[in-house]
Amino acid sequence: MEKNIKILSIESSCDETSAAVVVNGRNVLSNIIASQIAIHTKFGGVVPEVASRKHIEAIAGVVDSAMKEAKLTFQEIDAIGVTYGPGLVGALLVGVQYAKGLSYATHKPLIAVNHIEGHISANFIQYKDLKPPFLCLVVSGGHTFIVYAKDYGEFEVMGQTRDDAAGEAFDKVARAIGLGYPGGPKIDKISKEGNENAIKFPRASFHDESLDFSFSGVKSSVLNYLNKMEMKGEQINKADVAASFQKAVVDVLVENTIKACRIKKVDKIAVAGGVASNSCLRKTLKEVGEINNITVLFPEPILCTDNAAMIGSAAYFDYIKGKRATLDFNAIPNLKLGE
């Protein structure tokens, strides 16, 4: 019988301090998340210096809670996984340095994990039988990718944003119409009261048949619409603006992802990242998937946000391939997928 590989994982790439214990990349024994949303809300977005300081305050307690909930000692852990990029450099360094200290003190091997690979791997936790190859749409506050998962830990980027990430555009539009931070959930909520066909916002496409995205145009179009309405002294229907903007973003995400499926001849899409919680994206992609005989998989919301369980899953597949990090590795804020 194969040994169960237990990995303690740490995630601190942005404004969540998280630690988890994951067995064999799919079974979660604990997944503790300390969120900083309440702190950053008053600033209208994440302040990197504040995020770093809060990670320093929280990380020891979060790791301790993860181990206690898993009912394991450090001696029973097989390896330590940690996010080393992409993300905010100061925030990443807190997790990386803490993981290095644990590795040194416990003599456990260290696995450096790409944050994007972690998001993709969240689907292995949610769907125990999921195996590559499949297509993945990674869509969050900092990232928007269409990825072909060829094998565990082997990915081909087929499309990505050329400017704003989808979640970033959600945050900026939410701020512009006075909804506040975090923008994604607030846009999603108010959109249910609006008419998604009320305002025609642009859908960016490229003439070179690229599967890349661009969301700066639709964001600027929303800002221009708001300015024109204010100049005319006309009342702005926030729900209609939010719903119409959301539909414009979702339409492009869905269209390009389905195109990628046809190119790779795959019939399975796994969605990952914070925006994977968006109800319009879930509904639209599932409907279009059914029409095209494509199965669409979404992790539960707790696995869509930044969390250490997804890092533990990705770390496991690196571990069984023999990948190890030495104590001199560093955080890489602009880390690319596949590096």
Whether residues 80 and 138 fall in one domain: no
The reply to whether 233 and 310 lie within a common domain is no
Are 117 and 190 in a shared domain?
A: no
- The parent domain of residue 24 ranges over 6-122+304-319
Question: Which residue in 79, 96, 93, 87 sits closest to 116, CA to CA?
Answer: 87
Residue 338 belongs to a domain: no
Mean pLDDT by 10 residues, the chain (339 residues): 87 94 97 87 81 93 98 97 96 97 97 96 96 94 91 93 90 91 90 94 82 92 92 92 95 95 95 92 95 95 93 97 94 88
- Per the structure, the count of domains in the chain is 2
> Is 308 among the domain residues?
yes
Whether 140 and 272 share a structural domain: yes
Kindly tell me the sign of the dihedral angle through the C-alpha atoms of 291, 292, 295, 296.
Answer: negative
* Backbone dihedral angles phi then psi of residue 324, each to the nearest 5 degrees: -140, 150
Residue 337 lies in a domain: no
Domain membership of residue 332 (yes or no) is no
Is position 330 within any domain? no
Q: Are residues 225 and 80 in the same domain?
A: no
Question: Which residues make beta-bridge pairs with 9?
Answer: 20, 81
Same domain, 172 and 266: yes
Q: Residue 81: beta bridge partners?
A: 9, 111
Instruction: Compute the CA torsion angle 143, 149, 155, 159 (nearest 10 deg).
Output: -50
> Token match 């669409």: residue?
296
Residue 73 lies in a domain: yes
Q: Are residues 314 and 289 in the same domain?
A: no
Statement to judge: residues 112 and 141 lie in one domain: no
Residues 314 and 287 in one domain: no
CATH number of the domain residue 158 falls in: 3.30.420.40
- CB distance 24 to 96 below 8 Å: no
In sequence order, which residues have a C-beta less than 8 Å from that of residue 2 and are 6 or more positions away? none
Query: Which amino acid is it at 249?
Result: V
Residue 335 lies in a domain: no
* Residues 224, 159 share a domain: yes
Residues 6+ apart with CB under 8 A from 214: 161, 162, 163, 164, 204, 206
How far is it, in rounded angstroms, from Cα 218 to Cα 200?
10
Place of tokens 């990386």: 96
**Which residue bears the tokens 């499309």?**
159
Nearest to 143, CA basis, from 304, 331, 264, 311: 304
Q: Are 62 and 177 members of one domain?
A: no
Within this chain, do residues 275 and 146 fall inside the same structural domain, yes or no?
yes
pLDDT of residue 2: 64
- For residue 1, the model assigns a pLDDT of 38
For residue 285, give both structure tokens: 């992609």
| pTM value > 0.75 | yes
Does the residue 247 lie in any domain? yes
